[in-house]
Each structure stands twice: as structure tokens, then as C-alpha cells.
């Protein structure tokens, strides 16, 4: 179905139904016969300018301030020895790139959507936190940490399908001689690529200084078809192609678990995705410690500790938080304004922008897909969609489509704030191609989430660069501290950020 056909089918007219809300983070448009809701942080610059004009109306005191309520910020909160802390999160809800959206009273993933059972050699701190949260338990027979909530495991027969330019096949990496050689090439690295990525043996760090493409090209007769498949997987998990990312990151993708060994690794994907982990951590924290809709816009060190400028978006007031310690778990690029002294050590980090299009369908049977539906087409940014039908059954049927744009195309995502309709049409067109039927008449509503700086790309040198992550009781967490953009690394970065602080309860 092309755009003209879509317009014909839907009546062809576009009109606004509601303007931006008070927070100016979400807006709703009605395109043809279904509404489109847009969520982005486009207004942050404006909020900072407003905040700077205001006098300080409240001063709050706390031992530790946590900036950012993604996985890393919450893992830090769960690791502190007491509850004398405040966590400021800009968004109305926690989660960051592991966020979720409410549809008909249920949560659906709007970012990270799965994790897999953890091998024994994974980091003890992260495994301990997941045990404390009652998420995992050790399967002695299989030597794997598996998930307790079995209802969220994806049945292997429903796991994955791949649409390749009009044809269906079972997986992204085709079963060829080249794939066999590729698996053999990486075989010596078995059990050497744990998470967190900080545990990788330094003897392998030289692999951080060669691109994954150059590494593969050196040892294998790679062809365009093979590299396209590899690039798809690298974009999907790391936000960059094999030419952009390091061999250390690339090999990690294939060797962090016993893939291609015939061993089954549990795939855990609740409908709310990795917001499941956010929810579990949130339950450990008193609600009064969490300050949503609080934007941190300045950090200043004083003789006694830290003074932080915060804008309360709801009450439109400026607050100051005085603390002994800070765990900074927000993205690092705004540090140029928030704390310029700290920015230099993160100025090598490049981020891939992502767009998530969540489609709520009318209650009519739409079958023929799998849980994850990969999509290879001339539009390399479109990575396919996840179908909620194969997650723990809920009455609402939701398709969640993912786009990862090249780092140089930040402006394309920024422009979507002005007009989000084309990407919604494109998504519906692509999914219609997949199902071989026009799905536009089944669409009830669409939510679009723009994530401008979603994922740090593990380029050459990124994973092994020396960084001072704690200085004067300011400790940095987050996957963009030289970690792989994965849940386990994000979580560990928060735990280690707390461990590096000199706190009364820390040994």
C-alpha cells in the first residue's frame, strides 16, 4: 500500500483535535480516522530558559541526589544504604529508554522490550540485585539464572520471523556456509564476553580498536548480503552498523550467551517490556523519594557538597537541592550546560536517535506474525515490529514498531516534531506489506515516541576509554559511561556508581 492508497482509504484529510498539553511533552493530532499522540522532550531547552529566570522558591536537603529515573538511576536508588535520597526524573513517569505507555489500563513497552537468561559468569552485583528483586533464580541443571515469572517467557515457536524485501525467511542471518564459518571464527570467544562489559578480560581490549566490519573482512569472505544482515543486528542492539561499532561490541553480541549451540536460552518479554524491571525497582523505593517532572539544569560544587538547580515542571517553580553526593544517571550530552567541567570525558559519545511507533488495533483478528518481526527493506532505519499477541495475553492488541536513525540524521527525528504523520503512514504501509493486507482500517490509535539521544553507539575506543566516573562525590551512571546499551550494563552502572561513593554504609 502506498501513501496515496492510504489517503484514499482513510478519507485523505488531516485535522488537529487537541493542542499540546500543559507539560508540552505530548500532543494529539487526528489524522483521518485515528488519532496520533506524540511524545518527545522537545521543550527541554525552553523549560531551562524559563527556569533560569525564576527565583529559588524551595531548598531541599538530602544525602544523595539521583539525576535520572532510567534503569541505571533506579538501580542506584536500590543500592543506596538508606532512604536519605531524592531521585529527579524529567518525564512524568520513570523508565527512560525502558519506558512504557498505558493503553486501556495496561502498560506496553515503549523502548527496551526483552532480556534473556543470564549465564553464571555474569557480574555478581547485578545478579544479586535481580535476586533481591525476586526476578531471577538459579537453574543448577542448566547453569543459568532464569526468570521467575514464567508467564512472560516467549514460546520459541513464536519467537521470530523475518521479512526480507517481500519474502519471508526464518531468521536474519541466513543459513549459509558463511554463517557456519562465522560461528567457527567466534567459537574461541565462548564464555569470554560476560555482562557487565567492564568484566571483559583486558587481553581482549585490542578488539575495541578495530571496527567489526574490518575484523570480519579480515577473516571471512564477507559479501553484501551477509554484512546487511550483520548491520541489521548491530543497528537493532547498538544503534550503529558494523563499520561504526568496534569488534569488541560486535563479538560480544554473538558471544554473551550460548547462542548457536543448540542450548535454549529463556527469552523474557512482558508486554510492558523492560518497564517490568523499572516497576520492580520502583516498588523498593518510597514514593516520596521520587520527583517526576523535575528537570535538573545545573550542578554546583560548594565547600559543603553540591547545590543542584531543579525546575519543577508541574508547579513551574525553581528549587535547589543541597546534597552530599550526586549520582548522575541522565544522558551525558547536556552536561555541557549542566556541569561543563564533567563534559569533556564524555565528548566522544555519539547517540543514535530512535523512534517508536505504537499502534493500538481494533479488536479484530490479525494473525500471521511472530513476537519479533524483523524487516529488511531499502529503508534501513525501519527495524520491524513486536506483536503483543505473543506476549502474555491481554485484551488489547498492540504492534510496536522501531526505527533507528543514523547519528547524522538527528535533524530528521527533530523535524518529526513538526509533522509526525509521514512516519506513521510509512509504518502502517510497511506492516501492511508484512501482513499482505491493508491494516490501516484496523488502526484505533497511534502513539509516537521520539528519542533524540536514545542509545550510545559503541564505536571504536568507546568501551575501553579511561574515564573518571567519580570525583568529589559526583558519580556517573548510565549506559553512556562506556557501557554497552543493554539493560544489564545500565543496571550495573548504577550499582557501581553508588559503590564508588564514600558513604557511611559502603565498605
Ligand X SMILES: Cc1cc2nc3c(=O)[nH]c(=O)nc-3n(C[C@H](O)[C@H](O)[C@H](O)COP(=O)(O)OP(=O)(O)OC[C@H]3O[C@@H](n4cnc5c(N)ncnc54)[C@H](O)[C@@H]3O)c2cc1C
| Residue 177 near residue 430 (C-beta atoms within 8 A) | no
Contacts to ligand X from residues 50-69, by CB under 6 A:
67-69
444 contacts: CB under 8 Å, gap ≥ 6? 34, 360, 361, 362
**Distances from the Cα of 177 to the Cα of 4, 188, 257, 382, angstroms:** 43, 19, 22, 28
Residue 486 binding ligand X, by CB under 6 A: yes
Nearer to ligand X, 10 or 342 (CB): 342
The region of 359-367, 389-397, 484-492, 499-507 touching ligand X under the rule CB under 6 A is 484-492
- Given candidates 73, 194, 270, 353, which one binds ligand X under the rule CB under 6 A? 73
| Smallest gap from residue 441 Cβ to ligand X (A) | 28
- CA 415 vs. chain centroid, Å, equals 21
Nearer to ligand X, 216 or 374 (CB): 374
SS3 17: coil
Residue 354 binding ligand X, by CB under 6 A: yes
Residue 70 binding ligand X, by CB under 6 A: yes
Site track 311-350 with ligand X (rule: CB under 6 A), x = hit = ------------------xxx--x----------------
Cα separation, 172 vs 153, in Å, equals 21
| Smallest gap from residue 274 Cβ to ligand X (A) | 6
**Distances from the Cα of 112 to the Cα of 148, 154, 189, 348, 415, angstroms:** 19, 15, 27, 24, 24
The region of 106-114, 173-181, 243-251, 411-419 touching ligand X under the rule CB under 6 A is 106-114
Residue 487 binding ligand X, by CB under 6 A: yes
Residue 308 binding ligand X, by CB under 6 A: no
In 3D space, the residue among 482, 450, 383, 413 whose CA is nearest the CA of residue 99 turns out to be: 450
List, as one string, the DSSP characters of 309-377.
EEEETTTTEEEEEEEEEEEE-S-STTHHHH-HHHHGGGTT--EEEEEEEEEEEPSS---S--SEEEEES
| Smallest gap from residue 33 Cβ to ligand X (A) | 28
| Smallest gap from residue 123 Cβ to ligand X (A) | 14
| Smallest gap from residue 284 Cβ to ligand X (A) | 16
Nearer to ligand X, 27 or 91 (CB): 91
Q: Encode burial over 161-176: b for 16+ CB neighbours within 10 A, e otherwise.
A: bbbbeeeeeeebbeee
- Given candidates 34, 39, 111, 462, which one binds ligand X under the rule CB under 6 A? 111
Give the binding site for ligand X (CB under 6 A): 67-73, 88-91, 96-98, 111-115, 274, 295-296, 329-331, 334, 354, 356, 402, 451, 454-455, 478-479, 485-487, 490
Amino acid at each position: 500500500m502506498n501513501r496515496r492508497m492510504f489517503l484514499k482509504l482513510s478519507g485523505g484529510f488531516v485535522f488537529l483535535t487537541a493542542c499540546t498539553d500543559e507539560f508540552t511533552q505530548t500532543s494529539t493530532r487526528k489524522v483521518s480516522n485515528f488519532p496520533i499522540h506524540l511524545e518527545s522532550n522537545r521543550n527541554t531547552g525552553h523549560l531551562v530558559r524559563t527556569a533560569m529566570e525564576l527565583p529559588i522558591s524551595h531548598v531541599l536537603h538530602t544525602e544523595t541526589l539521583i539525576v535520572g529515573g532510567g534503569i541505571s538511576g533506579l538501580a542506584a536508588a536500590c543500592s543506596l544504604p538508606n532512604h536519605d535520597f531524592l531521585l529527579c526524573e524529567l518525564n512524568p513517569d520513570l523508565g527512560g529508554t525502558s519506558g512504557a505507555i498505558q493503553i486501556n489500563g495496561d502498560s506496553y513497552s515503549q523502548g527496551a522490550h526483552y532480556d534473556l537468561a543470564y549465564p553464571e559468569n555474569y557480574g555478581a552485583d547485578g545478579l544479586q540485585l535481580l535476586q533481591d528483586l525476586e526476578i531471577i533464580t538459579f537453574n543448577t541443571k542448566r547453569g543459568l539464572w532464569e526468570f521467575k515469572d514464567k508467564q512472560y517467557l516467549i514460546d520459541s515457536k513464536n519467537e521470530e520471523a523475518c521479512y526480507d524485501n517481500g519474502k519471508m525467511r526464518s531468521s536474519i542471518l541466513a543459513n549459509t556456509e558463511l554463517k557456519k564459518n562465522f560461528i567457527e571464527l567466534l567459537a574461541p570467544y565462548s564464555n569470554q564476553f560476560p555482562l557487565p562489559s567492564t568484566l571483559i578480560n583486558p587481553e581482549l581490549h585490542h578488539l575495541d580498536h578495530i571496527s567489526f566490519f574490518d575484523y570480519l573482512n579480515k577473516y571471512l569472505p564477507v559479501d553484501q548480503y551477509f554484512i546487511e544482515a550483520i548491520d541489521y543486528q548491530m543497528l537493532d542492539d547498538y544503534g550503529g552498523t558494523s563499520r561504526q561499532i568496534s569488534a569488541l561490541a560486535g563479538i560480544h553480541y554473538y558471544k554473551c550467551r550460548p547462542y548457536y549451540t543448540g542450548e535454549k536460552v529463556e527469552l523474557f518479554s512482558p508486554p510492558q517490556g523492560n518497564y517490568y524491571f523499572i516497576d520492580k525497582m520502583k516498588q523498593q523505593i518510597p514514593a516520596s523519594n521520587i520527583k517526576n517532572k523535575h528537570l535538573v539544569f545545573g550542578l554546583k560544587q560548594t565547600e559543603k557538597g553540591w547545590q543542584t538547580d531543579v525546575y519543577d515542571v508541574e508547579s513551574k517553580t525553581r528549587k535547589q537541592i543541597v546534597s552530599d553526593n550526586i549520582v548522575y544517571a541522565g544522558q551525558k550530552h547536556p552536561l555541557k550546560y549542566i556541569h561543563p567541567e564533567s563534559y569533556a570525558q564524555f565528548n566522544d559519545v555519539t547517540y543514535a536517535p530512535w523512534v517508536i511507533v505504537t499502534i493500538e488495533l481494533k479488536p479484530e483478528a490479525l494473525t500471521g506474525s511472530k513476537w519479533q518481526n524483523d524487516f529488511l527493506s531499502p529503508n534501513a532505519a525501519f527495524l520491524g515490529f513486536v506483536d503483543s499477541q505473543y506476549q502474555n495475553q491481554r485484551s488489547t492488541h498492540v504492534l510496536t514498531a522501531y526505527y533507528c536513525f543514523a547519528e547524522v540524521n538527528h535533524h530528521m527525528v527533530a523535524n518529526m516534531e513538526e509533522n509526525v504523520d509521514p512516519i506513521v503512514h510509512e509504518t502502517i504501509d510497511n506492516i501492511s506489506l508484512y501482513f499482505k493486507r491493508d491494516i490501516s482500517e484496523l488502526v484505533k490509535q497511534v502513539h509516537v515516541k521520539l528519542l533524540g539521544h536514545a542509545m550510545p553507539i559503541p564505536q571504536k575506543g568507546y568501551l575501553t576509554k579511561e574515564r573518571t566516573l567519580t570525583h568529589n562525590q559526583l558519580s556517573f551512571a548510565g549506559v553512556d559511561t562506556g557501557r554497552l546499551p543493554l539493560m544489564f550494563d545500565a543496571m550495573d552502572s548504577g550499582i557501581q556508581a553508588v559503590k564508588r561513593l564514600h558513604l557511611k554504609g559502603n565498605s
